[in-house]
Amino acid sequence: PLPDEAPSALAMRLALEKARDVAKRHPGAVVIGSDQVADLDGLPIGKPGTHERAVVQLRSMRGRSVVFQ
């Protein structure tokens, strides 16, 4: 994420970047881009990368709502 980028803005930016990249390689095609970002209290939750970080991340989410943007 960019500094201070909201999860919904991050999802939109990533979806547009993906669609634009594919559209460059397939001129004239209809291209639909999509992405999703987990949002916990207005902050994007990224992929943990390791088992240990996944455990910490999941514990921090316990009892709270995570919204996918």
Catalytic sites, residue numbers: 35
In the structure encoding, which two tokens stand for residue 53, read together? 């970080």
